[in-house]
Every structure is written in structure tokens, then in C-alpha cells.
Chains A and B, each alone.
Chain A
Amino acid sequence: EVQLLQSGGGLVKPGGSLTISCAASGFTFSSYAMTWVRQAPGKGLEWVSGMSRSGGSTYYADSVKGRFTISRDNSKNTLFLQMNSLRAEDTAIYYCAKDQLWAEAGTGVLEYWGQGTLVTVSS
């Protein structure tokens, strides 16, 4: 059974940093691209970042480029999102998601999602 178990959310002050994690099991983690998607309270879904299965290619939404860093440890089956210079508008539930296809580059079809982790940026 595919499982994506997220951790690391919490309350952080504006300008602060936080790293959230997504521990994968039930599939060959190193064979799939992974994605982060967020959802502000009461709002819709927003793509944040994606990474190829090897980690060689990374992609970011303009809203987070230069502040967030996606990474993965294929030996530990874990995906990370390091968030720096956090702003109030970064407050959201962050989801990690597994790509549908076994391929180096992602397709963007998000087949399985983590349970989400809440990041609140407030003073």
C-alpha cells in the first residue's frame, strides 16, 4: 500500500524558516518524481514545487522561487521542502504527492497524496 506520511509543520514567525518532510513507503520511491502542492485556508490548490526521480531537476512556482528548496533522499525514501523567508501568505496545508508514472521526469498526474501538514506563518 502506498503511503506518504508527512511531518514537520507548525507555527513560524514571518521571515523564519521551516523544513517539512514526506516519508514514502509501499513503492520504489527512487523511481518516481514527486511534487509539493499547498492549500491556503479555505482556498484552492496551488502547485509549489516538483522534483525528478533522481533529484537532478527541480521546479518552483514563481511565488516561492528563491525562498523554498525541494530535495529528496532516495536512500531514506523521503522528500523535503525547506522554506525560508516565510511570509503570512505562505500559510497553508502543504501536501506531498507521488507522480503517476515510473519515469525520470514527472508527468504531473498526482496519483497519491500525503495527509497534509499545516504551516502557519504568524507573529
Chain B
Amino acid sequence: DIQMTQSPSTLSVSVGDRVTITCRASQNIGTWLAWYQQKPGKAPKLLIYKASSLESGVPSSFSGSGSGTEFTLTISSLQPDDVATYYCQQYNSYSRLTFGGGTKVEMK
């Protein structure tokens, strides 16, 4: 199975900060990567797919980049509503989806 490693596991930030989360795949997955946001007690929400395509309705403050084995999710200016846990997920093969361990973004 393809392993997905996210870093950092926790991020303490202030409103207006630029936030960058990294996700590494154990093998080349091209751009078959999605990012999800999960708030406490809620289901995950799709933010980005195909590494850099923004899902409809998602603020443009979110962006994704990368290909192959290294990917990043960037929040250009953190807002209070962005406090959540973020997960990357590879979909190189539908028969074996895998998620990263998650990055919890919290307010300082």
C-alpha cells in the first residue's frame, strides 16, 4: 500500500498567518492527491483534488501544489473558521485509498 506522511502533526498559528502543510507519498502518485478539512464532530469536507484543483465553494485562500511524492496545502491567511484537522489522501488506485495521519491547526 502507498503510505502517506503528513507534517507537522500539529500547527499553532495566529489569525492572518500563512499556513503550509506537507504530505509525502511513499511512491509516485502523479497528481492523484486530495485534501480534506475536518472540524470537531463533523464529517470531512473535500477542499482540493488532483493536487491543485479547488473544489467548488472552497475559499481561494486555500491552494494545493505538488506532484510525484511531495505535496503541500497552503492557507494564505488563516481565519478562525479554518481551525480544523487537515488530511491528505492519495487516490492513485481506487482499490487502495490511503490517508495521511492528519495535521491539526490550532490557534495560538
Contact = CB atoms under 8 A, between A and B. Distances in A.
Contacts of A88: none
A45 B34 contact: no
B99 interface: yes
Most B Cβ at <10 Å: residue of A100, A106, A109, A113: A109
B87 interface: yes
Contacts, number: 62
Interface residues of B, number: 25
Given A44-B99, A46-B99, A111-B55, A106 B46 contact: no
Give the secondary structure class of B's interface.
loop
Contacts of A102: none
28 contacts: A33-B94, A35-B97, A37-B99, A44-B87, A44-B99, A44-B100, A45-B87, A45-B89, A45-B102, A47-B98, A50-B95, A59-B95, A100-B46, A100-B49, A106-B94, A107-B94, A108-B32, A108-B34, A108-B90, A108-B97, A109-B34, A109-B49, A110-B36, A110-B44, A111-B55, A113-B44, A114-B43, A115-B43
